[in-house]
Amino acid sequence: MAIDVRAYLEAKADLDRRSLNREVLSVFGRRLKGKAKVRLLEVGCGTGVHLCRLAEVLGAKELELTGLEREVSLVRAAPELCRKRLESQGWSCWIEYRQAAPVLIGERGEQNLRLSFICADLWEFTSDSKWDAVCAHFFLDLVPVRQALFRTALWLEPQGLLYASANYDGGTFLFPPEEGFEANLLARYDASMEERRVAGEECGGARSARRLFSVLCQTGWHVLAYGSSDWNLTPVEGSYRAADRTVLLALLEMIASEGQTLDPAASSAWYQRRLAQLQQGELGMIIHQVDLVACRP
């Protein structure tokens, strides 16, 4: 990918905000309402964009937010990026360096916030702490779902919540529609996600939402709400919203790179055609994703 991960995560922030399923989010918020203090852990938090979004919508007087992320560079960048993001949301923020890792402190009206990041791998992270909710945003396609849920349950209070959003579910659609090579290319793109393995185990992959739903039902979780949170990367009157153009470019590159194993010449020609449409403000992409909130068994 020509764009680096950090820039990509920042570029998709507005798209994610627009795409979240409102009903699922409001069920999540309702379940936490009434608690004076909410403790929340996000696994695979990147630069903390989703944690800032949740700080925006959760009304608890005290918010204790923790992000778990294995990439050192993202964890280092996160506090300052979150400070700027939270200030734009009306929080007064500062970063305290007194502890081993920086802690971002925020105040907004009656609300207090404490946001910290842990640099660790999900599979190695251990904690005696318990959280009211564990969030996974744009993450479960990367890990074996059953094992991730097993660990999540250990970190949750009784009646604790899992809020899993932006779970890719096997649908990438490009506009204007094209016949021929593109169908094979998109099938290869999905297959590359299906081939992901962690310690030999199948990951959420291209069917992460359906896999998540099945595992939750099999392991006694109570699914409270779910619904689509598709990415609409479509031009509006010839213009792209926010940083959608950057996200589209990154996606075209990711898809085209999978075409190298199929037919490099056809893949390059496809990329150039779709890139020209992007430059003209004519390319659209709709990506099917699902949000879900569930209660611990």
Ligand X SMILES: C[S@@+](CC[C@H](N)C(=O)[O-])C[C@H]1O[C@@H](n2cnc3c(N)ncnc32)[C@H](O)[C@@H]1O
Stretch that binds ligand X, among 25-33, 44-52, 149-157, 273-281 (CB under 6 A): 44-52
Q: Select 138 or 213, whichever has its Cβ closest to ligand X.
A: 138
Nearest CA to 115 among 53, 202, 72, 169? 53
Report if residue 164 touches ligand X, rule: CB under 6 A: no
If you ran DSSP here, which 8-state letter would residue 60 be given? -
Nearest CA to 48 among 15, 6, 89, 14? 6
Nearest CA to 278 among 295, 255, 296? 255
Whole-angstrom Cα distance, residue 267 to residue 209? 28
Instruction: Name which of residues 6 to 35 contact ligand X (CB under 6 A).
Output: 9
Do 132 and 62 meet the contact criterion of CB atoms below 8 Å apart? Answer: no
Q: Select 70 or 188, whichever has its Cβ closest to ligand X.
A: 70
Do 96 and 103 meet the contact criterion of CB atoms below 8 Å apart? Answer: yes
Is residue 71 helix, strand or coil?
coil
How many other C-beta atoms lie within 10 A of the C-beta of residue 193?
18
Report if residue 189 touches ligand X, rule: CB under 6 A: no
- Total of residues contacting ligand X (CB under 6 A): 19
Stretch that binds ligand X, among 67-75, 248-256, 264-272, 281-289 (CB under 6 A): 67-75
Which residues, 6+ apart, have CB-to-CB distance to 2 below 8 Å? 249, 250, 253
* Amino acid present at 199: A
Q: How far is the CB of 103 from ligand X (least distance, A)?
A: 20
Stretch that binds ligand X, among 28-36, 66-74, 169-177, 277-285 (CB under 6 A): 66-74
Report if residue 49 touches ligand X, rule: CB under 6 A: yes
Q: Select 12 or 274, whichever has its Cβ closest to ligand X.
A: 12
Tokens of 237: 């009157």
Instruction: Name which of residues 101 to 140 contact ligand X (CB under 6 A).
Output: 121-123, 137-139
Report if residue 46 touches ligand X, rule: CB under 6 A: yes
Binding flags for ligand X, 222-251, as an x/- string (CB under 6 A): ------------------------------
Whole-angstrom Cα distance, residue 14 to residue 242? 7
Q: Select 217 or 254, whichever has its Cβ closest to ligand X.
A: 254
Whole-angstrom Cα distance, residue 257 to residue 255? 5
Report if residue 205 touches ligand X, rule: CB under 6 A: no
Q: Would you say the C-alpha torsion 189, 191, 194, 196 has a positive or negative sign? A: negative
Report if residue 45 touches ligand X, rule: CB under 6 A: yes
**Antiparallel, parallel or unpaired: β 222-228 and 231-233:** unpaired
**Distance, CA of 176 to chain centre:** 27
Stretch that binds ligand X, among 52-60, 64-72, 109-117, 221-229 (CB under 6 A): 64-72
Query: Which of 71, 190, 194, 253 touches ligand X by CB under 6 A?
Result: 71
Q: How far is the CB of 276 from ligand X (least distance, A)?
A: 28
Q: Select 35 or 146, whichever has its Cβ closest to ligand X.
A: 146
Q: Select 71 or 263, whichever has its Cβ closest to ligand X.
A: 71
- Interface residue list for ligand X (CB under 6 A): 9, 44-46, 49-50, 68-71, 74, 121-123, 137-139, 142-143
